Amino acid sequence: MATASAQLKPAGNDAGIQPALWLAFPVIALLLYRQVINVVTSAHGDGPIAMLAVAVAIAIPLTGLAFASRSGFAAFAAYLTLSIPPVFAASGGYIRIAGLGGYWTLLAVSVPIAVFGGGIALSFSPGKLLVKLHRTTAVALAVFVLAHLANHPFALDSLAAHKSVQDVLRLVYRNAFVEPLLVAALAAQAISGVALAWRGRHRQGFLNHAQAASGLFMAAFLCSHVMATLVSGRTLANTDTNFVFSAGGPAGLLHTAGAAMLIPYYFLAPIAFFTHVGGAVRRSLLRKRSSNANQVAVGLFATGVVLSLVILAALCGVGGISSGV
């Protein structure tokens, strides 16, 4: 097995295609994704055309995997391509909030600038400080995310079962003291994650790039999901951001106009989370010269796929939502 240093050392800049051409790829992919999502939305999630469109929508960002092992701008273009679902979902929400004017416009503009602009700027800070910030916030957030994800499969039984678990968890993460700290940790994790993804564009190996790409996906997802629940849902609409809210309504993602567009967004999110965690565990094991590092990372990825399918089934109307209880 290759040594830890061989697995983790940076590679040189990608030669050949100009950076602008590499970065054009995610832009073109985003435009295609938008057109396919329009088909999904117009079909209201019913019929084979909608199902085919959903499959294509999931496949478009995954085209970034084709050049995710390269380095430099090519790698970062791959990261951006893989992050298209949360970027697309976030852009729609941020545009709606910005349209309210005043403070809301400032909020909608400042958040992406702070996260992505601030992340690139922070990438030039001392490496050890940046990694320490990311790891410190990651521990707290991992506990929250795992609990949050574990809550969702209960909806396969009933909405009441999901709510009973959620009510207990909310006593912790919606505590007046805990919630602001959690939001601050989310912001720090997203900003430092963008910085590390930018730095990681020069690393060698597909699994190393998968960790960076999944991290950027999670940064975009956090920006979208927090804004949708905390601002659009709880503050502006004054609604309970429960499982039905996430599913787009009582009919579920498949049968609610405009909600089926969220299927790629929700499907890839748990996979990205477990891929990112798996990458971090793998790097730790490599430093200890473990021979099982890659297998552990792949196992966590597989766990993410299974959990994602279970959660997506519940969001699409299997179980609690379909029965209405």
- Give pLDDT tens digits for 219-253: 999 889 989 999 988 999 899 888 888 888 877 88
Q: At a CB cut-off of 8 Å and minimum separation 6, what does 251 contact?
A: 317, 321
Q: Which of 205, 218, 229 is nearest to 83 (CA)?
A: 218
Q: Which of 118, 100, 92, 115 is nearest to 265 (CA)?
A: 92
Q: How many domains does the chain have?
A: 1
Residue 241 within any structural domain of the chain = yes
206 pLDDT higher than 70: yes
Please report which confidence band the pLDDT of residue 269 belongs to, taking 50, 70 and 90 as the band edges: very high
36 close to 53: Cβ distance less than 8 angstroms: yes
Residue 8 within any structural domain of the chain = no
Give CA–CA dist 62/85, Å, rounded: 10
Give CA–CA dist 92/290, Å, rounded: 44
166 close to 151: Cβ distance less than 8 angstroms: yes
Percent of the chain scored above 90 by pLDDT?
34
Mean pLDDT of 259-271: 91
Residue 6 within any structural domain of the chain = no
pLDDT for the residue numbered 290: 84
Residue 296 within any structural domain of the chain = yes
Residue 1 within any structural domain of the chain = no
46 pLDDT higher than 70: no
Residue 5 within any structural domain of the chain = no
Q: Which of 189, 198, 190, 188 is nearest to 219 (CA)?
A: 190
The residues facing 203 across adjacent strands are 10
Query: 3-class SS at 203?
Result: strand
Q: Which of 120, 91, 87 is nearest to 265 (CA)?
A: 87
- The C-alpha angle with vertex 175 and arms to 170 and 176, in degrees rounded to 5, equals 145
Residue 92 within any structural domain of the chain = yes
Residue 155 within any structural domain of the chain = yes
Burial of 48 (0-12, 13-18, 19+ CB in 10 A): exposed
Tokens (6 digits) for 99: 């349209």
In 10 A of CB 214, how many CB atoms? 29
Q: What is the pLDDT of residues 106-161, one digit of tens each?
A: 988 998 898 888 888 888 877 777 888 888 888 888 889 999 999 999 988 888 89
Q: The domain containing residue 47 runs over which residues?
A: 14-323
Give CA–CA dist 174/179, Å, rounded: 5
